[in-house]
Amino acid sequence: MNDSDVVIVGLGDAGCQIVDQINSAGVGNAVIAVVNTDSKSLANSKAAVKLQIGVNHTDGLGAGGDVELGRRAAEDDMAMIGGLFSNAKLVFLIAGLGGGTGTGAAPAVLAAAASAGAVTLCFVTLPFKFEGRQRRTQADSAVVKLTEAGNTLIVIPNDRLAESVGLANAAETFEKADRVIGEGICSIEQALVRPGLINLNFSDLRKVIKDSGGVCTFGYGAGKGKNKAREAIGALLENSLLERGNVIANAGSMLVSIAGGYDLTLKEINDIMDAVSRKMAKDNDIIMGTVVDDVWHDRVVVTVVAADRWTPVLSDGAARVDAAVESVESDLPKRHRQGQTQTKLALESSSKGRFKDLEPTVQDGEDMDIPTFMRRGLVMDK
Amino acid sequence: MSVAPVVALEIGTSKVLALVAEMREDGCVMITGIGEEPSAGIRKGEVVDLENAITCTRSVLAMAEESGKVAIRQVHLAASGGHISSLMNRGTVPVLDKDGEITRDDIDQVMEVARAVNLPVDREILHTICQQFCIDDQEQVIKPEGMEGAKLSLDMLVLHGIRNRLNNTIKVVSSLSVDVQDVVFSGLCSALAVLSAEQKQSGAVVIDLGGGTTNYLAYTNGVVADAGVLGVGGDHITNDIALAFNIPMLQAEDVKRESGCAVVKTAVGPARIALPAEVGFPGCTVSVKSLHKVINARVEEMIDVIRRRLEVSGILHHIGAGVVLTGGGAHLKEIVTLVEDVFSLPCSIGRPRNVSGLAVATEGPEYATCCGLAQYGFKMQDKRRSGVSLGGWFKGIFRR
């Protein structure tokens, strides 16, 4: 595979902005395209190919958060979108979920790429908490829909992203966040496409994603100067996208891509891999690749795609607590924690008596249909 | 009789009850007919077996027709179920008048705005209840007409439930060729029946301890300030007992009624109760202390959930008149002590007020819902006759 077989598509406003960042980072000969309903956003983009979809429905004004409108817009211009993928072997689709165009059109665009015979990899961002429940719900259902259609998804929650880039002023935060995703995608793309010191191929990535049930988490750490390897590891393990290393610790399998300039030494690669695999549970898969290009002179970028079980909403708080616990325990040997969350299940079906087939009454996370004395562990003398 | 009789029907988890009520000249509601039967096909206040529920309701209505000597064509229906909940919605409008004087139009407008709440598509509004007005930043205005201000706000308590489930209960009635005139939240009915005007004014909570659900409704300053349903009821207590002692539901229900107690008492009386053998049940004895422990844990939890909910909505400290218990669960021994402990407020058992007639129906707390529903029915008839717009305190928007 070489560069020209790769198409990177940004869909919707968020997608367009991230693709612009990739564009400025430089990805050789890959075709870079943006697809949107909003003509203004397209006009500002620096991408080589620009497609405006759904003019009949939106008058070029964007989908306004309406998923249905986004879907129809893509269906209107299926022929045009299909043309984009005529020579493609590998397609990266980048979209922000929660709005109209990205959420609604993504399934159609992916289907078009697949029918052109290309392998697809989809990066999606989940909306910020402050964007409200509705957008989050739209995004969640889109993730489910996309995975059900057999697509490979890498999910990036914006909240975690914002944490990882720090909260400067809003405009800067957004730009920085876009750049983080852009660089990460770039390095994966390069690792897959370019001949590197240690090659990655798409089936490796596929395997990792398959392990996760179609949804992966993506993380990123960069370092610069003399201590670049150590810096990159530190940044990666502290990265909130990976819940401060928690995702790595729990990942079933993981893909690590290391990108550096020609000054990248074997020792640095070794140090990075060592640190990452030490974080991971012992018996789990780790797949690595390196890519060398002068773009990254005097820098090193470590990108991780981890098979992390994705859970819709709610679980966020619990995950954070886990992360805190994790950092306290970080010197202790790691162990599998998959069993921990499930201890209650065995009890439930047998202990609900006449309510076992009914919709449970849940209050503050407790199933009230289970006898209170059981939940409180009261001892009875029969 | 100038006013047509009202039939109040409650399809509950443990019993189906129909009351035929007439309005006496002195404005007192009189119960003239009653039909009652243990219910079938209902769990947690919702229909799970339509056919059985219909059969049961049919015979209850027939009993009520016979005892009240009326032909029942239409009923008022009490609605319950864990899906019913409430939210507070604030509407604000600018005052149109140049001098800033608030007119009737402004008030109508703000009511409309406050009522227009965005619910998920599967939900239906049951009631909207006006709270106090607010002029600019002045809260707690009762009658704003004629006052001056730049903007007028109104909080509206919106009670809503899942449409399909409400419709399932209605379907039970309509498949008997009987019209449903109105669907009213059970908790509201209970409160209407048992609270006095003074209690409403100084703040009171009515907790209706039903078979499948526990409904609650709080009044502060004379207005319904919060309401909701917890999908846990007397059935859960019985189920807990059955599981704790490995006895059938029937025996568990009996022992709950006979020897149940909401607090664990330090031994007076026998330490164990003997459950007599029956067909398919060999008989056994259970420890009284354990029995009370099981019940106490469950009931204390139920009451505490409601206390916490009221705490969250910030009205726990505005309840001066305390807690009033209704529903079959109010018969549980020492329940008053338990509720007083949990709430740290005075508690009493509510009995239907201003209702006369059949003694059996006007005495027990388990008849409060239907008595209140009958009163609600007459109130609405009154309004319809005198032509007052329905935009007042209660409005049953819900129609089939």
Phi and psi at residue B129, in whole multiples of 5°?
Answer: -125, 120
A33 and A70 Cβ atoms separated by less than 8 Å: no
Per-residue pLDDT at B378 = 92
* Shortest Cα–Cα distance, B212 to chain A (Å): 11
Which residue of A lies nearest to B229 if distances are taken between CA atoms? A361
- Which residue has better confidence, B366 or A381? B366
Which residue among B43, B243, B290 sits closest to A381, beta carbon to beta carbon?
Answer: B290
Per-residue pLDDT at A346 = 38
Residue B391 pLDDT grade (very low, low, confident, very high; cuts 50, 70, 90): very low
| A354:B231 CB<8 A | no
| A351:B243 CB<8 A | yes
B333 close to A (CB below 8 A) = no
pLDDT tops 80 at residue A98 = yes
Q: What CA–CA distance (Å, rounded) separates A249 from A167?
A: 26
Residue A153 pLDDT grade (very low, low, confident, very high; cuts 50, 70, 90): confident
B296 and B263 Cβ atoms separated by less than 8 Å: yes
Q: What CA–CA distance (Å, rounded) separates A297 from B214?
A: 68
| Portion of chain A with pLDDT greater than 90, in percent | 0
Phi and psi at residue B343, in whole multiples of 5°?
Answer: -85, -20
What are A's interface residues with B at a Cβ cutoff of 8 A? 351-355, 358, 361, 363-364, 368-369, 371-374, 376, 378, 380-382
CB count within 10 Å of CB A338 equals 11
Contacts of B118 in chain A (CB under 8 A): none
Paired tokens of A172: 């800067």
Q: Which of B44, B286, B299, B304 to mutate to test the interface with A (most CBs of A within 10 A)?
A: B44
Top mean-pLDDT range of A119-128, A183-192, A284-293, B282-291: B282-291
What letter would DSSP give residue B23?
E
Can you tell me the mean pLDDT for B67-77? 93
Contacts of B294 in chain A (CB under 8 A): 371-373, 378, 380
pLDDT tops 50 at residue A118 = yes
Going by C-alpha positions, the residue among A190, A246, A238 that lies closest to residue A217 is A246
Tell me the one-letter amino acid at B338: L
Decide: residue B55, CB within 10 A, 0-12 exposed, 13-18 middle, 19+ buried.
middle
| B249:A354 CB<8 A | yes
Per-residue pLDDT at B224 = 93
Residue B383 pLDDT grade (very low, low, confident, very high; cuts 50, 70, 90): confident
Q: Is the ipTM of this complex over 0.95?
A: no
Residue A234 pLDDT grade (very low, low, confident, very high; cuts 50, 70, 90): confident
Residue A56 pLDDT grade (very low, low, confident, very high; cuts 50, 70, 90): confident
Q: Which of B168, B214, B215, B240 to mutate to test the interface with A (most CBs of A within 10 A)?
A: B240
Q: What CA–CA distance (Å, rounded) separates A248 from A281?
A: 8
Calculate the CA B375 to chain-centre distance: 13
| B287:A353 CB<8 A | no
3-state secondary structure of B346: coil
Which residue among A364, A376, A382 sits closest to B287, beta carbon to beta carbon?
Answer: A382
* Shortest Cα–Cα distance, B168 to chain A (Å): 16
Per-residue pLDDT at A316 = 38
pLDDT per residue as tens digits for the range B175-227:
999 999 999 999 999 999 999 999 999 999 999 999 999 999 999 988 999 99
Per-residue pLDDT at B154 = 93
* Shortest Cα–Cα distance, A379 to chain B (Å): 8
**CA contacts within 13 A on the Cβ side of B301:** 28
- The average confidence (pLDDT) of chain B is 89
3-state SS record for chain B: CCCCCEEEEEECCCEEEEEEEEECCCCCEEEEEEEEEECCCEECCEECCHHHHHHHHHHHHHHHHHHHCCCCCEEEEEECCCCCEEEEEEEEEECCCCCCECCHHHHHHHHHHHHCCCCCCCEEEEEEEEEEEEECCEEEECCCCCCECCEEEEEEEEEEEEHHHHHHHHHHHHCCCCEEEEEEEHHHHHHHHHCCHHHHHHCEEEEEECCCCEEEEEEECCEEEEEEEECCCHHHHHHHHHHHHCCCHHHHHHHHHHHCECCCCCCCCCCEEEECCECCECCEEEEHHHHHHHHHHHHHHHHHHHHHHHHHCCCHHHCCCCEEEECHHHHCECHHHHHHHHHCCCEEECCCCCEEECHHHHHCHHHHHHHHHHHHHHHHHHHHHHCCCCCCCCCECCCC
| Portion of chain A with pLDDT greater than 70, in percent | 78
Tell me the one-letter amino acid at A41: S
Q: What CA–CA distance (Å, rounded) separates B353 from A280?
A: 69
Residue A166 pLDDT grade (very low, low, confident, very high; cuts 50, 70, 90): low
A56 and A67 Cβ atoms separated by less than 8 Å: no
Tell me the one-letter amino acid at B315: I
Can you tell me the mean pLDDT for A208-227? 74
| A354:B235 CB<8 A | yes
Per-residue pLDDT at B213 = 94
Q: Which of A350, A357, A368 to mutate to test the interface with B (most CBs of B within 10 A)?
A: A368
Angle (deg, nearest 10), helices A101-115 and A133-148: 10
Per-residue pLDDT at A364 = 77
pLDDT per residue as tens digits for the range B29-43:
999 999 999 999 999
State the Rg of chain B over Cα. 22
pLDDT tops 70 at residue A71 = yes
Residue A244 pLDDT grade (very low, low, confident, very high; cuts 50, 70, 90): low
CB count within 10 Å of CB A358 equals 16
Lowest pLDDT segment from A21-30, A72-81, A289-298: A21-30
Per-residue pLDDT at A338 = 37
Per-residue pLDDT at A323 = 38
A73 and A50 Cβ atoms separated by less than 8 Å: no
Paired tokens of A250: 């729990």
* Shortest Cα–Cα distance, A377 to chain B (Å): 11
| B239:A363 CB<8 A | no
Per-residue pLDDT at A210 = 64
Going by C-alpha positions, the residue among A23, A40, A39 that lies closest to residue A31 is A23
Show Cβ contacts of residue A148 under 8 Å, excluding neighbours closer than 6 positions: none
pLDDT per residue as tens digits for the range B342-355:
999 999 999 898 88
Which residue of B lies nearest to A361 if distances are taken between CA atoms? B231
pLDDT tops 90 at residue B254 = yes
3-state secondary structure of A285: strand
pLDDT tops 50 at residue A335 = no
Per-residue pLDDT at A215 = 67
pLDDT per residue as tens digits for the range A255-297:
888 888 888 888 888 888 888 887 776 666 788 888 887 777 8
Which residue among B231, B239, B297 sits closest to A353, beta carbon to beta carbon?
Answer: B239
| B297:A372 CB<8 A | yes
Residue B79 pLDDT grade (very low, low, confident, very high; cuts 50, 70, 90): very high
Tell me which residue has tokens 């301890």: B209
| B43:A382 CB<8 A | no
- Which residue has better confidence, B306 or A250? B306
Show Cβ contacts of residue B235 under 8 Å, excluding neighbours closer than 6 positions: A354, A355, B13, B14, B43, B44, B211, B212
Cα-based distances in Å from B308 to A213, B49, B317, B382:
39, 33, 12, 37
Which residue among A363, A369, A378 sits closest to B297, beta carbon to beta carbon?
Answer: A378
Which residue among A354, A361, A380 sits closest to B293, beta carbon to beta carbon?
Answer: A380
- Which residue has better confidence, B329 or A155? B329
Which residue among B82, B240, B305 sits closest to A371, beta carbon to beta carbon?
Answer: B240
Calculate the CA A289 to chain-centre distance: 19
Decide: residue B66, CB within 10 A, 0-12 exposed, 13-18 middle, 19+ buried.
exposed
Which residue among B240, B287, B305 sits closest to A381, beta carbon to beta carbon?
Answer: B287
Can you tell me the mean pLDDT for A45-56? 82
Lowest pLDDT segment from A219-233, B13-27, B50-64, B80-94: A219-233
Per-residue pLDDT at A150 = 63
- Which residue has better confidence, B140 or B226? B226
pLDDT tops 60 at residue A312 = no
pLDDT tops 70 at residue A144 = yes
Residue A342 pLDDT grade (very low, low, confident, very high; cuts 50, 70, 90): very low
CB count within 10 Å of CB B118 equals 8
Which residue among B232, B245, B289 sits closest to A368, beta carbon to beta carbon?
Answer: B232
What letter would DSSP give residue A360?
P
- Which residue has better confidence, A369 or A323? A369
* Shortest Cα–Cα distance, B44 to chain A (Å): 9
Calculate the CA A109 to chain-centre distance: 18
Sheet holding A253-260, edge to edge: A49-52, A31-36, A6-11, A90-96, A119-126, A153-157, A215-224, A299-306, A253-260, A285-292
Paired tokens of B353: 């007020």
Q: What CA–CA distance (Å, rounded) separates B325 from B368?
A: 10
pLDDT tops 50 at residue A332 = no
Per-residue pLDDT at A212 = 62
pLDDT per residue as tens digits for the range B85-102:
999 999 999 998 888 899
pLDDT tops 90 at residue B16 = yes
**Sign of the C-alpha dihedral, residues B122, B124, B130, B133?**
positive
| B239:A355 CB<8 A | yes
Contacts of B13 in chain A (CB under 8 A): none
B309 close to A (CB below 8 A) = no
A35 and A7 Cβ atoms separated by less than 8 Å: no
* Shortest Cα–Cα distance, B195 to chain A (Å): 28
Per-residue pLDDT at B396 = 40
Which residue among A368, A369, A373 sits closest to B294, beta carbon to beta carbon?
Answer: A373
Paired tokens of B284: 């056994």
* Shortest Cα–Cα distance, A367 to chain B (Å): 10
What letter would DSSP give residue B320?
-
Which residue among B43, B242, B294 sits closest to A358, beta carbon to beta carbon?
Answer: B43
Can you tell me the mean pLDDT for A175-180? 78
Which residue of A lies nearest to B231 if distances are taken between CA atoms? A361
| Inter-chain CB pairs, A–B, below 8 Å | 75
| A382:B305 CB<8 A | no
A367 and B305 Cβ atoms separated by less than 8 Å: no
Per-residue pLDDT at B59 = 95
Per-residue pLDDT at A277 = 80
Can you tell me the mean pLDDT for A109-120? 83
Q: Which of B239, B247, B251 to mutate to test the interface with A (most CBs of A within 10 A)?
A: B239
| B297:A376 CB<8 A | yes
| Portion of chain B with pLDDT greater than 90, in percent | 69
Per-residue pLDDT at B2 = 62
